[in-house]
Amino acid sequence: MKKLFFIVLAINSIFVTAQTTGRSVFFDNAKYALHKKEKQKLDSIAAALKENAQYSIQLFGNTDSVGSNAYNQQLSENRVNAVKDYLVKKGVDTKLVRIAAYGETKPRFPNAEDARYKNRRVDVLVSIPSKPVVVAKADTVPPAPVKKFENDTVVNVGDIIFQVQNGTFYPNKISDYNFEASLISNTDEMSQNKMTTMTVDGEVLISQRVVCANAVPNRTSVKRPENLQKPVTIKLPVNGGGLCSPNSIYTWNTVKGADGKIRWVSARVHVRTEKVNGRDYYVCTTNSLGCINLDCKTKTKKVLVKSKKYTIRDIAIVYPRTNSICDSKKLSEKLYRVKFISGSNETPLVNITAMDASGAEHTISRMPLSKLKYRWLGRKYVIRKKDYPVEFIGAVSR
């Protein structure tokens, strides 16, 4: 795409003093290696400059908003240096190249999931001096300065604090929405909401807190926000000491599986803590509203659980004190593979869902795993008929 930059020298005329060509070089998520297609763009720029004795190049490195500010700043520097090094290798004079890295601070597009890839870029601007040419004034007058759309806003919902930047819901305003938020702080509440602390990749997380946040339109003419134009900062109280070290906590976004369970995908955004009115708060940023989990990873091991008598629909291993729920993988109607937290001093509990003859589900909650028989041959726990409560056996047998 070509653009012309103009200097206003008279009321009724504008003189073009340089032709500036702009192109963007794009990158994969969290990467700064150049793809073949992007190298071809730079090859064409370098070839064109060989025919011009005078020119200057400006390179501007950018990222999307996924990740911490420090991480994205370094990533944008790596990207802009990768482009500069490639151009210099192709014969561009290094003394004529100026670079700047902006991290995530200058997005060209919304950082929604379907558009943020366009912000993973380095903008290349090449200026070549030319003789002044008079052009018509129409279409070349720069637009009037844009007025501030609205003010940044702080919204308190109970103990939860939202910091919302102006233009976040553009073209709607912050005042068009009511904010709702709820905290999920323990494994019982997670189970009620069909949540585990498993990632989509099968890793086990230790949850510090889950916050479910939404912006609800306060009139019918306003739609629910599908994409946020700017990230929202959410602050929520620290839930006790927690078992995660402060430097290991990141945010995770929800993914609902075909089985209806909620699992998590990393947003790669580090969570920090700060004092608010003398109280410790977690502080995280998010590019989408909904349920957000503040977690750290933990090491796990696998083991089998087999039911001798009844058909099992689901098994989960629960660590109430650690605040973790380990999901299971079905191998057959009566055999599941589950994950355990390695080296935990907490006795895990097992939640079992079985099905009776009518197809109705019955759940046993918080059965100590130590109650089940462990068979070293085959390395599996066995759920025997006597392990089920009497009322459960009666329901299944009907």
pLDDT band at 306 (very low <50, low <70, confident <90, very high): confident
pLDDT higher than 80, residue 356: no
Distance of alpha carbon 315 from alpha carbon 330, whole angstroms? 9
Note whether 153-297 and 300-397 share their fold. no
Q: Which amino acid is at 100?
A: A
CA atoms within 13 A on the CB side of 293: 26
pLDDT band at 14 (very low <50, low <70, confident <90, very high): very low
pLDDT higher than 60, residue 363: yes
Tell whether domain 153-297 is in CATH 2.40.50: no
Please compute the mean of the pLDDT values over residues 216-238 and round it to a whole number.
86
Computed over every residue of the chain, the mean pLDDT equals 79
Judging by beta carbons within 10 Å of its beta carbon (0-12, 13-18, 19+), is residue 112 exposed, middle or buried?
Answer: middle
Q: pLDDT tens for residues 47-92?
A: 888 777 677 888 999 999 887 777 788 899 899 999 999 999 998 8
The domain limits of the chain are: 2-135, 153-297, 300-397
Q: pTM higher than 0.75, yes or no?
A: no
What is the model's pLDDT at position 8?
30
Distance of alpha carbon 26 from alpha carbon 358, whole angstroms? 56
**In the CATH hierarchy, which top-level class contains the domain 2-135?**
alpha beta
| DSSP secondary structure letters along 83-128 | HHHHHHHTT--GGGEEEEE-TTSS-SS--STTTGGGGSEEEEEEEE
- The DSSP call for residue 370 is G
- What are the b/e assignments for 6-24, b being 16+ CB within 10 Å? eeeeeeeebebebbebebb
300-397: which CATH number, 3.40.50, 2.40.50, 2.30.29, 2.60.40? 2.60.40
Backbone φ, ψ for residue 82 (5° rounding): -65, -40
The number of residues in the chain equals 398
What is the model's pLDDT at position 391?
53
pLDDT band at 241 (very low <50, low <70, confident <90, very high): low
pLDDT band at 134 (very low <50, low <70, confident <90, very high): very low
What is the model's pLDDT at position 154?
92
Q: What percent of the chain has pLDDT over 90?
A: 12
What is the model's pLDDT at position 377?
79
Beta strands in 308-360 (DSSP E): 312-319, 324-326, 328-332, 335-341, 349-355
| DSSP secondary structure letters along 179-221 | EEEEEE-SHHHHHHTTEEEEETTS-EEEEEEEEEEEEEESSTT
pLDDT higher than 90, residue 297: no
What is the model's pLDDT at position 162?
92
